[in-house]
A and B are shown apart, each in its own frame.
Chain A
Amino acid sequence: MISALLIGLTRFLVGGTGQWVGCAPSSRQRIYFANHSSHLDTIILWAAMPPDLRRRTRPVAAADYWGKGAVNRYIAVNILNAVLIERNARGSDPLEPLRDALAAGDSLIIFPEGTRAFERLPGAFKPGLYHLAKAFPEAELVPVYLDNLRRALPKGSFLPVPISCVARFGCPLQLEASETKPAFLERARAAVVQMA
């Protein structure tokens, strides 16, 4: 009910349609990785998926934003079924909850830049994606470019404006056996840029 309301409001205000350019929706285990420019990114990507995939595709969200405040926390945990991570965790491994989710068979949505960017194209990726790709070689890595979100709700603004946003899904990639970490992360970034 509330999730239908959230989808309806999202569609009315910012569209949020999915364009499957490089692959079709599939129930295979996947790690979707996308550029990050807005708090709406998670909801848009989630809304762009077919309803049956939404339940098993869990967005990864920063606990310092989505875990705070009753509304944010309710949306993140109860509706989006998000995996909350500590960005500045000391001592414990921040990727631990992600590995648990993947081991349970869920798909993930991650934003490898780690923080929202102001520019059109994504910045350098953090190594988390590499570690997950290495630990779960059977999961497909799907690049996604989220278009127009930096205009609909740019960093520093609180009110989304009605500009239609699109999630463009690219060709899945795999970590090559001999590939180094920087080479893989750059290739993954380029795959997102290609969908821009």
Chain B
Amino acid sequence: MTLPTIDPTMQLLFGGVLALLLLASAVGFALARRVTTENGRETVRNLNARIKAWWVMVGVFALAFIFGKGVTIVLFALISFYCLREFLTLTPTHPTDHRPVAAAFYLFLPLQYWLVWIDWQSMLTILIPVYAFLLLPVLAVLKGETDDFLARTARIQWALMLTVFCISHAPALLLLELPGDHQPIFLLFFLITVVQLSDVLQYVAGKLFGRRKIAPNVSPSKTVEGFVGGSLAATGVGAALWWITPFTPLEAAAMAAAIVLAGFLGGLVLSAVKRSLGAKDWGVMIEGHGGALDRMDSVTFAAPLFFHLVNYFFAQ
């Protein structure tokens, strides 16, 4: 077996990510030696757990990017699986909803990613919003339990829309035909980098300068200063990555801003959903971060928006 050759641009990009991670680890290490208060120690401990988890997540994504479309699709299918499991675990479905829940996991999740694999774009945008939307309540109604029927069905529909339909739009970027010799894999890099950096930078800016809370009831850690600082920085990074995309620097900044805003709103909405279910985190999968869905909440809103913006304005 020969190892796949890694595109020079990809080498450069992951070199940059690696440098960033090394810097973060060094800062985390230095901070751990300098903090004195108990409160500060707790914050630094959480920060270092997050950085450690980032090493793993970047490693997994690097493998997917190196091995190409197949591995990337499998990776996102697994991410959808874990997010769907977290969502339905917290959401109080009824035991009689077993059939629609089974259909969500065993029918619609694999089918959606199979559609990405075979490049059937028109079907992948309607499979869940149309066919799953109609079939799930049918499967539920056959059991004859009418208590709370609308809410029960809506929960499973929401779960499938957010965790499978929305997230699958990230690997679906690979299907877009771009002008010139631009490769769509770099669009996926652009999306993931901007969305995750935006989360990180908003967290850092919020910890450093945060004063005024944006939505104290929904997400107490989100502040105006964190949002403004983090968003501007992430938009700047997006603009600086214009050369890997078909965008001009200004277009890249606009795209990054759209991703950042959608990601922020996605985080806010999912925070409200989480709180309505009485939980602080979606799960315990990633130390320091919570569950998989805590890391993907902004992607659920940003991915479909970015996919359609690129498809409308740039794809051939």
Contacts and interface: CB of A to CB of B under 8 A. Distances in A.
Interface stretch (B4-12, B86-94, B170-178): B86-94
Interface residues of B, number: 17
B88 A163 contact: yes
Interface string A134-163: 000000000000001011001101010111
By secondary structure, the B interface counts as helix
A153 to B, nearest CB: 8
B95 A159 contact: no
Nearest to B88: A163
Q: Which of A148, A157, A161 has the most CB of B within 10 A?
A: A161
Contacts of B105: 161-162
- Most chain-A Cβ atoms within 10 A of its Cβ — which of B86, B89, B93? B89
B95 A162 contact: no
Contacts of A163: 85, 88-89, 93, 101
B283 A151 contact: no
B85 A159 contact: no
Interface residues of A, number: 13
A161 B89 contact: no
B106 interface: yes
Interface string B72-92: 000000000100111011000
The main secondary structure of chain A at its interface with chain B is loop
B95 A150 contact: yes
Nearest to B106: A159
A81 interface: no
Nearest to B284: A17
A74 to B, nearest CB: 25
Interface in B190-240: none
A164 B98 contact: no
A96 B95 CA distance: 35
A20 interface: no
A154 B85 contact: no
A118 interface: yes
A162 B283 contact: no
